[in-house]
A and B are shown apart, each in its own frame.
Chain A
Amino acid sequence: MKGFFPIFKRELFAHFVTPLAWVAMTAFLLIQGLHFFLIVQHFAGQLDLSADAGPVQTFFGQTMMLYLPLLFVCPVLTMRLFAEERRSGTIEPLLTAPVESAGVVLGKYLAVVVIYAAMWLPTLLYMVLLGRYGEVDWHVVGSGYLAVLAIGAGYLAIGTMTSALAKSQLTAALTSAMAIMGLFMIGVGEFIFPEGLGRDLAGHVSAWAQMNDFSRGIIDSRRLVFDATVVVLPLFITVRAVDAWRLE
């Protein structure tokens, strides 16, 4: 783990001085703002609400607007992590400092996870706003954010991996977007496959189904285990890739 903390700090700093991070965040918040506006407008016209289908539940669970942007935002956040360092050559001083591959990978990865979480932070205001004009189930808010974080953490790990495997940022972003899209599509299989193993499998990996559950306050540990797998496996491959550069 040697090298983790300085790399984590530098990576956070690097994100906030690049315009791309701000563009991605702004675009993300614009979409979420529009999303929230549409939901509120929809519910404003309804007279009575059932307990588990209010605006908060809808925000996290019922529409694709919430995580469709993740397909673009996560690859943009992760694409430069390693690809940029390899293109500019700064990977050489980095890896010839007394650091361990795991420290380098985790430092970079956790920095983007923090940025990702920070990106969601302003949306908490929506919940505060709703709370002022009605009832908000904070348990549902908590499980909703937990799911958003768990799913995003997996997407970011995939992006970290493709950034280490690809030599250009563009390839890194495209391949991670494709991988995330693929994962999402398998989940859609839940609605397509006939009843049986295929549908069960699709249901388990489905981000859509996970958001639906968590937006109702149902925290299913099997889903969290799956999310953890999507974090750990790509990160393990990334560490091995960094090790392999020394043997190239």
Chain B
Amino acid sequence: MIEVEHLSKSYGAVAAVTDLSFGVERGQVVGFLGPNGAGKSTTLRILAGFLGASSGTVRIAGHDIVEDRLEALRHLGYMPETSPLYPEMKVREYLAFRAELKSVPRAKRRADVDRCLELAKVADMAGVPIGHLSKGYRQRVGIADALLNSPPLLILDEPTAGLDPNQIREVRALVANLAESHTVLLSTHILSEVEASCSRAVVIAKGRLVAIGSIDEIRGRGRPEVALVVRGEEGALRKALGTIEGVTDLAVSAEQDALRATVRLSAEQEPEQAATIESIVASLCKAKLGVREVRTTTATLEEVFAQLTMAEKTVAEKTSSDATEGTA
């Protein structure tokens, strides 16, 4: 449904998005993740044809968003960040206006507006001026708007931003409900939201792609933590662990008659991680330290997100630097 190829966007000298490529297949619910300022809204605005890209192409349902904008937009329901609306209009009036803009035939307009009011659960506010609505309701009017004319694809920019926990739960349930019959791309920086509603995720940081795949695949990208309980001298422990390759972030604390140490494995693949754990245990035994406990914990999505987005190097930079090392 969405094909993004080598998308770049810069504001003057500042690059907001750099060489971004990803796709969304029909029927998927994809989370678009990244810290604030990563370029999420910029990317979604380009997808919706509101901003032009500096380079690269975007196709919505097979239609180029620049060359064939009107046809592409007919397949897309887009809710901008914070869902800006005309405060002086009543909810039903606004949706009727939007339905007309989206070329819903006159005879079907009323029924379509009613359907979207019901779906987005704003039917009870149909006669209220938008300016009097709470933020949660305004967000839902934005979603109702996106649903008009039954587009197969929905792009929602931070549908739960600024809502209270109850409203977040309601909007999330709404999105889950819509996911049954729509392809959805939704941006957020709330990870539990992605775990709750998305099957796949695209993670960007500083305008570059850092990870793409199913939620489990992305969680698997995280580097596990190894917690050790060891009897012996702290100096000896540090020395023993310090020599092993593939171990970072060593932290040691004293515990009654033993030491508790945590390390993070720097390898991304499982076989290498296993090998590192083996050499940790071997090294500890060789140093004559009493190993009492070795426990590995896989990273949570939060940790993976932090690792991916805080890393100095992004995937693209890393592969290019690897490539230059390889040739040198």
Give A contacts to B, CB under 8 Å: 2-3, 5-7, 9-10, 13-14, 17-18, 88-90, 92-100, 245-248
Contact A93 B70 (CB under 8 A): no
Interface residues of B in 24-81 (CB under 8 A from A): 45, 48-52, 69-70, 73-74, 76, 78, 80
When A5-B100, A97-B102 are in contact, do A14 and B49 touch as well, CB less than 8 Å? no
23 contacts between A and B (CB under 8 A): A6-B97, A6-B101, A7-B101, A10-B86, A13-B89, A17-B88, A18-B88, A89-B80, A89-B84, A90-B86, A92-B80, A93-B78, A93-B85, A93-B142, A95-B50, A96-B73, A96-B76, A96-B78, A98-B70, A98-B102, A245-B50, A246-B51, A248-B51
When A2-B70, A93-B80 are in contact, do A246 and B49 touch as well, CB less than 8 Å? yes
Complex contacts, B88 vs chain A, CB 8 Å: 14, 17-18
When A3-B101, A98-B101 are in contact, do A93 and B51 touch as well, CB less than 8 Å? no
Complex contacts, A96 vs chain B, CB 8 Å: 48-50, 73, 76, 78, 80
- By beta carbon, the residue of chain B nearest A3 is B101
Asked if B150 is at the interface of the complex by the 8 Å CB criterion, the answer is: no
Asked if B145 is at the interface of the complex by the 8 Å CB criterion, the answer is: yes
Asked if B214 is at the interface of the complex by the 8 Å CB criterion, the answer is: no
Contact B50 A92 (CB under 8 A): yes
Contact A90 B73 (CB under 8 A): no
Interface residues on chain B, size class: 20 to 34
- By beta carbon, the residue of chain B nearest A103 is B101
Complex contacts, B100 vs chain A, CB 8 Å: 5-6
Contact A97 B73 (CB under 8 A): yes
Contact B49 A89 (CB under 8 A): no
Contact B86 A89 (CB under 8 A): no
**How many angstroms between the C-alpha atoms of A135 and B88 in the bound complex?**
46
The 10 closest A-B pairs by CB, nearest first: A89-B84, A247-B52, A6-B100, A98-B73, A92-B80, A97-B101, A96-B48, A90-B84, A98-B70, A17-B88
Interface residues of B in 142-171 (CB under 8 A from A): 142, 145
Nearest Cβ on chain B to A50's Cβ, whole angstroms? 51
**How many angstroms between the C-alpha atoms of A97 and B145 in the bound complex?**
10
**How many angstroms between the C-alpha atoms of A2 and B88 in the bound complex?**
24
Asked if B103 is at the interface of the complex by the 8 Å CB criterion, the answer is: yes
Contact A14 B86 (CB under 8 A): yes
Contact A98 B84 (CB under 8 A): no
Best-surrounded residue of A5, A93, A246, A247 (most CB of chain B within 10 A)? A93
Q: Give the residue of A14, A18, A90, A98 whose beta carbon is less than 8 angstroms from that of B103.
A: A98
Interface residues of B in 237-289 (CB under 8 A from A): none
- By beta carbon, the residue of chain A nearest B11 is A248
Asked if B115 is at the interface of the complex by the 8 Å CB criterion, the answer is: no
Contact B103 A88 (CB under 8 A): no
Asked if B82 is at the interface of the complex by the 8 Å CB criterion, the answer is: yes
Complex contacts, A2 vs chain B, CB 8 Å: 70, 103
Nearest Cβ on chain B to A16's Cβ, whole angstroms? 10
**How many angstroms between the C-alpha atoms of A88 and B82 in the bound complex?**
10
Best-surrounded residue of A3, A88, A97 (most CB of chain B within 10 A)? A97
When A92-B45, A97-B101, A98-B103 are in contact, do A246 and B52 touch as well, CB less than 8 Å? yes
**How many angstroms between the C-alpha atoms of A71 and B84 in the bound complex?**
32
Complex contacts, B142 vs chain A, CB 8 Å: 93
Contact B145 A93 (CB under 8 A): yes
Complex contacts, A100 vs chain B, CB 8 Å: 70
**How many angstroms between the C-alpha atoms of A90 and B88 in the bound complex?**
12
Complex contacts, A13 vs chain B, CB 8 Å: 89
Nearest Cβ on chain A to B80's Cβ, whole angstroms? 4
Complex contacts, B85 vs chain A, CB 8 Å: 90, 93
- By beta carbon, the residue of chain B nearest A90 is B84
Contact B82 A98 (CB under 8 A): no
Asked if B189 is at the interface of the complex by the 8 Å CB criterion, the answer is: no
Asked if B98 is at the interface of the complex by the 8 Å CB criterion, the answer is: yes
- By beta carbon, the residue of chain A nearest B49 is A96
**How many angstroms between the C-alpha atoms of A133 and B232 in the bound complex?**
116
**How many angstroms between the C-alpha atoms of A10 and B97 in the bound complex?**
7
Nearest Cβ on chain B to A82's Cβ, whole angstroms? 14
Complex contacts, B52 vs chain A, CB 8 Å: 246-248
Best-surrounded residue of B82, B84, B89 (most CB of chain A within 10 A)? B84
Nearest Cβ on chain B to A104's Cβ, whole angstroms? 10
* Contact bitstring B87-114, A, C-beta under 8 A = 1, else 0: 0110000000110111100000000000
**How many angstroms between the C-alpha atoms of A98 and B151 in the bound complex?**
12
**How many angstroms between the C-alpha atoms of A72 and B21 in the bound complex?**
51
Complex contacts, B102 vs chain A, CB 8 Å: 97-98
Complex contacts, A247 vs chain B, CB 8 Å: 52
Complex contacts, B103 vs chain A, CB 8 Å: 2, 98
Complex contacts, B76 vs chain A, CB 8 Å: 96
Complex contacts, B48 vs chain A, CB 8 Å: 96
Complex contacts, B86 vs chain A, CB 8 Å: 10, 14, 90
